[in-house]
């Protein structure tokens, strides 16, 4: 029997340990690696080529959406199941647009994780059933997937040139995205942009 190989990505060791126990209780699933941040996730996905990457959205170095885009670009055969505390439509859309096959809310993931991994491995899109019951944030500005990726990297203090390398863009294009972010959010400098992103859960600071 071919087992479903899984890479676990979460910056908390105890969380990864819990997910490992949960998944390895199923005879059809094998954990082939663990990563603690987005950079490591991208590296290990390319090295191990798991069938499924189970990934937390809020990661050090880059968020799960950015990591997903890079993983899917390098290894299109690898599926990604995103775990997140965020139920807002913006986050879900960002992750799916980046190439994630599934999106589960982290607060009750223990009940659904095994089945979700199997469905994602089979190429079936999995969305947490609670998502449809959660209204979209009233008045939340709509940011594109690329803008959210740029925003995450701005929060980590990266320059336009550094962001361009990560996302495979020109520095000028990154500058345009940065300007669009500020205009959309009504913000006039980078420090305000970083504070807004963190307060509104659009990016992780760790």
* Whether residue 161 sits in one domain with residue 118: no
What would the mean pLDDT of 121-128 be, rounded to a whole number?
94
**205 assigned to some structural domain:** no
* Whether residue 121 sits in one domain with residue 73: yes
Residue 5 tokens read as 């190989």
CATH number, domain of 10, equals: 3.40.50.2300
**83 assigned to some structural domain:** yes
**8 assigned to some structural domain:** yes
What is the per-residue pLDDT for 63? 83
Domain boundary among 133, 157, 179: 133
Residue bearing the bigger pLDDT, 156 or 54:
54
Residues 6+ positions from 136 with CB-CB distance below 8 Å? 88, 89, 90
Whole-number mean pLDDT of the chain?
87
What is the per-residue pLDDT for 1? 65
Residue 29's beta-bridge partner residues? 4
What pTM did the predictor assign?
Answer: 0.74
Q: Measured between alpha carbons, how far is 95 from 68 in angstroms, rounded to an integer? A: 8
Q: How many CA atoms lie within 13 A of 15 on its CB side?
A: 19
* Whether residue 181 sits in one domain with residue 127: no
Q: pLDDT tens digits, residue range 146-178?
A: 888 899 889 889 999 999 998 899 999 999 999
**28 assigned to some structural domain:** yes
- DSSP codes, 30-88: EEEEEESSHHHHHHHHHHH--SEEEEESS-SSS-HHHHHHHHHHH-TT-EEEEEES--S
**139 assigned to some structural domain:** no
* Whether residue 126 sits in one domain with residue 26: yes
Q: pLDDT tens digits, residue range 66-111?
A: 899 889 989 999 999 999 988 877 788 888 888 999 999 987 666 6
CATH number, domain of 181, equals: 1.10.10.10
Residue 132 tokens read as 């449809």
* Whether residue 153 sits in one domain with residue 118: no
**206 assigned to some structural domain:** no
What is the per-residue pLDDT for 93? 82
Terminal-to-terminal C-alpha distance of the chain? 40
Residue 40 tokens read as 């490591």
Name the pLDDT band for 2 (thresholds 50, 70, 90). Answer: confident
Domain encompassing residue 194: 145-199
């Amino acid at each position: 029997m071919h087992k479903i190989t899984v890479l676990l990505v979460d910056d908390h060791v105890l969380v990864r340990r819990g997910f490992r126990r949960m998944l390895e209780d199923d005879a059809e699933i094998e954990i082939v690696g663990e990563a603690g941040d987005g950079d490591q996730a991208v590296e290990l996905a390319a090295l191990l080529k798991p069938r499924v990457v189970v990934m937390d959205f809020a990661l050090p170095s880059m968020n799960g959406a950015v990591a997903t885009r890079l993983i899917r670009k390098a290894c299109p055969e690898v599926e990604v199941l995103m775990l997140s505390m965020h139920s807002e439509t913006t986050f879900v859309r960002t992750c799916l647009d980046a190439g994630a096959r599934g999106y589960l809310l982290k607060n009750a993931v223990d009940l659904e994780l095994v089945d979700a991994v199997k469905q994602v491995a089979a190429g079936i899109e999995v969305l947490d059933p609670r998502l449809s019951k959660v209204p979209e944030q009233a008045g939340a500005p709509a940011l594109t997937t690329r803008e959210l990726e740029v925003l995450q990297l701005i929060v980590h203090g990266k320059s336009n040139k550094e962001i361009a390398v990560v996302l495979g863009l020109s520095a000028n294009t990154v500058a345009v995205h940065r300007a669009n972010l500020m205009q959309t959010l009504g913000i006039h400098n980078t420090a305000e942009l970083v504070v807004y992103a963190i307060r509104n859960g659009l990016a992780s600071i760790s």
